[in-house]
Amino acid sequence: MSVRFLRDTATVFSREFRPVLRDPLGLLFTMGQPLLFLFLFGPLLAGTPGVGDGIGASPWQWFVPGILVMMCLSGPMMAGYTLLVELLGGSLERLMVTPLSRTAMLVGRTLKEFAILLAQAVLIIVLAVPLGFRPDPAGVLTGLALLAVFGVGLGALSFVLAIASQPGGELFYGVTQMVMFPLLLLSGMLLPMDAGPAWLRTAASVNPVAHIVEAERALFAGRFADASLPYGVLAACAVAAAGLALGVRSMRRGV
């Protein structure tokens, strides 16, 4: 990895992150949905069959890791919106004629999404502790690392979709909305899938997000030998590898 690449990545990261620092309220606003689910939906899970089984009596042990994965779907998955705005406005075209590495343009943007996701995840964990959430410290660090891998992959795929949506952008909005909700509902992050019909459980079993959710729950509970971990790690790494590979190719081809 060359010094120039690192410098270009830092330049792009700084360019993308400065608007976030100028508008911290915007960062909190993007957490509106996760916070609503945390405070208004989470308490309803007490006593729900399948919630917390084997990982503690508190439903928060089961629910909070799912909320963190939800933030990946509502955050990095929509990250391409900012790129789409630049594409439609023409500002990205001016950036593309600079000597900046095009790979660094993608990596810098995905690192910005990772930084936002990490800050949001830490805030959610801190807010959940007074409610009864008792995470394992080592599991939290490992779980956040896994979440970062998944989030970076989703962010890169979102950028690819934004580039493919030129010139109008309708494709980006249509695909993200069509994909986001099935991934969310078939992941078991809000309600356990065990009580669902066989066809629904089968659909959930091929959803990579479902495996990541189960891996996050195991990690946050400190169950490092859980059978769900290899599947969750594999799913997150596959999403990250596909996103970065397709993203780098799209940026190198130009926009």
Q: Which of 75-84, 112-121, 155-164, 204-213 has the lowest mean pLDDT?
A: 75-84
Instruction: Inform me whether the pLDDT recorded for 146 exceeds 70.
Output: yes
- In eight-state DSSP terms, residue 201 is H
Distance between CA atoms of 69 and 8, rounded to whole angstroms?
Answer: 30
Instruction: Inform me whether the pLDDT recorded for 245 exceeds 70.
Output: yes
The 10 Å Cβ neighbour count of residue 80 is 29
Distance between CA atoms of 193 and 191, rounded to whole angstroms?
Answer: 6
Number of folded domains that form the chain: 1
CA atoms within 13 A on the CB side of 47: 2
- In eight-state DSSP terms, residue 79 is T
Amino acid letter for position 11: T
Distance between CA atoms of 69 and 76, rounded to whole angstroms?
Answer: 11
The H-assigned helical ranges of 75-135 are: 80-89, 91-96, 102-128
Which tens digits make up the pLDDT trace of 16-54? 888 877 777 776 777 777 888 888 888 888 777 767 655
Q: What is the mean pLDDT of residues 208-236?
A: 93
Place of tokens 């993308």: 16
Alpha carbon distances (Å) from 131 to 3, 10, 49, 58, 144: 46, 38, 20, 9, 20
> What sign does the CA torsion over 53, 55, 56, 58 have?
negative
Which tens digits make up the pLDDT trace of 89-118? 766 677 777 777 777 887 888 888 888 888
Place of tokens 């308490």: 43
Q: What is the pLDDT of residue 25?
A: 75
pTM for this entry? 0.86
Instruction: Inform me whether the pLDDT recorded for 73 exceeds 90.
Output: no
Enclosing domain of residue 66? 3-253
Q: What is the mean pLDDT of residues 148-175?
A: 83
